[in-house]
């Protein structure tokens, strides 16, 4: 099994990263999966230019770190998207990466996968869940989501994910279920 983790946060070891760790712990069965991590905030990933070059299957003209992402994404059985909400959607670095995936938006690369969306948020998560559900379904893949409000509405304080053991367990259990699926 090949697992790809896209770390959408700028904060290493933050809430969404911790959920991703739990999913990976659940996925680690008797035959450990191959895991690749990408952290777009630390990568050289240019914006899609909408030049249309990729539309005839020739790949992306931009020669940057996405060239390393494309093969890993295509071969992944499980794609974990750690996505803190920023202004009602995913972080800009994660969105830039997904825009560039347009170059491989084929059934071969997006089909027959399990997408795992890990959303940490203060107020709202709907837009990103709806987005991934639609993408996954459109390519015949499956989508799963673990959602956590890391915010105390009564005090207005952000809370660390460690204070949500049930959600951490949910992430672990999801990893375990995907591992058992024995792809």
Ligand X SMILES: Cc1cc2nc3c(=O)[nH]c(=O)nc-3n(C[C@H](O)[C@H](O)[C@H](O)COP(=O)(O)O)c2cc1C
Interface ranges with ligand X (CB under 6 A): 9, 11, 14-17, 84-88, 120-124, 150, 158
Least distance in angstroms from the C-beta of 63 to ligand X: 29
The residue written with tokens 């539309």 in the block is 55
Task: Please say which residue, 17 or 114, places its beta carbon nearer to ligand X.
Answer: 17
- Which is nearer to ligand X, 120 or 167 (by Cβ)? 120
Q: Residue 148 CB, nearest distance to ligand X (Å)?
A: 7
Using CA atoms, how far apart are residues 112 and 32, in angstroms rounded to an integer? 20
Nearer to ligand X by C-beta: 60 or 148? 148
**Whole-number Å distance between alpha carbons of 84 and 106:** 26
Q: Confirm if 159 and 13 have CB atoms less than 8 A apart.
A: no
- Give min distance, CB of 64 to ligand X, in A: 24
> How would you classify residue 179: left for phi > 0, otherwise alpha for psi between -120 and 50, otherwise beta?
alpha
């Amino acid at each position: 099994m090949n697992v790809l983790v896209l770390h959408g946060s700028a904060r290493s070891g933050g809430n969404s990263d911790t959920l991703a760790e739990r999913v990976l712990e659940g996925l680690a069965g008797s035959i450990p999966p191959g895991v690749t991590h990408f952290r777009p905030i630390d990568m050289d990933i240019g914006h899609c230019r909408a030049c249309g070059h990729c539309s005839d299957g020739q790949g992306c003209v931009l020669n940057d770190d996405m060239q390393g992402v494309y093969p890993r994404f295509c071969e992944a059985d499980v794609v974990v998207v750690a996505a803190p909400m920023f202004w009602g959607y995913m972080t800009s670095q994660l969105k830039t990466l997904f825009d560039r995936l347009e170059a491989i938006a084929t059934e071969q690369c997006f089909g027959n996968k399990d997408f795992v969306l890990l959303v940490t948020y203060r107020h709202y998560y709907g837009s990103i869940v709806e987005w991934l559900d639609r993408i996954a379904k459109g390519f015949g893949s499956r989508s799963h989501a673990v959602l956590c409000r890391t915010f105390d509405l009564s005090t207005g304080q952000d809370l660390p994910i460690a204070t949500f053991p049930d959600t951490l367990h949910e992430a672990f259990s999801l990893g375990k279920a995907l591992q058992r699926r024995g792809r």
